[in-house]
Amino acid sequence: MKMKKFYVIGNNTSKSLSPIIFNYWFKKYNIRAKYGFVEIKKANINKEIDKLLKNKDLFGLNITIPFKQKIMKHVDILNPHAVKINAVNCIKKSKRGVVGFNTDWSGYGKALPKVNNLNTKKILILGYGGAAKAIHYFFISKNVKNIDIANRSKKRIKFIKKIKYSKNYKGINKQISSANIIINTTPNNPLTKKQIKLVKKSTIVSDIVYNPRNTAFLNQFPSNKKVYGISMLLHQAIPCFKIWFGFNPSVDKKLLQILNKKIS
């Protein structure tokens, strides 16, 4: 039986924790498979992806920044969620062809602690790239009506009938002070010191960056409840594994200990 090959592809994937997570599960469940990483430059993306997909031992891929949309033209069949979000973070090779999925949206939902009456809460999303759109899609799927989005450049907001655009960071003080959940999807902390002081102590703060665990953004809120990036990474990985092998793997203490040692 041949070794099934899996990779995470994107920028800086040599630093990704995905190989650690999946190789741990492969060993735990005695699966003859190996998970690695491939770093791709924008100029070579189509050539590199075609080469990967032609590899007969390749069974699946995870896609990270900045290729979650560019990968879509290499996919034969798109999962409905991937179509709506317009981004793919998981691929499975099958007899039907290359199938693309998006598990980021449900991964964030699973990472979020239980919030009573979620649909009545005020959400503020900072940044509006691929991961932000998936998170926005999760809240829309839960019938959350009050969602504000801030971004450096003006971007049209998806998933809503009325045409609306993202706000700039300077104009969101009112949204910051009333938000119940704030999610930072940018690589840095986009808020000023004055804006940080507007955040309520009861607000849940969240960052999708997983290393360091306490990011420049999360560090500003020592007493707030937090959703860490590593939690989203794990919860989006679980459905990827199920797509490939048909069952959910467990996140046990040993795996968490291994990951915590890798995170500064």
Instruction: Return phi, psi of residue 127, to 5°.
Output: 95, 155
Q: Which two tokens stand for residue 4?
A: 């099934």
Residue corresponding to tokens 């490939």: 244
Question: Beta strands of the chain (E only): which ranges?
Answer: 4-10, 33-39, 58-63, 77-78, 90-94, 97-101, 122-126, 146-150, 181-184, 204-207, 226-227
Is 68 designated active site? yes
The one catalytic residue among 2, 51, 68, 158: 68
Cβ neighbour number for residue 184 with a 10 Å cutoff: 25
CB neighbour list of residue 64: distance below 8 Å, 6 or more residues apart: 8, 9, 10, 11, 13, 16, 89
- Cα-based distances in Å from 81 to 101, 137, 149, 193: 7, 9, 20, 37
Catalytic residues: 68
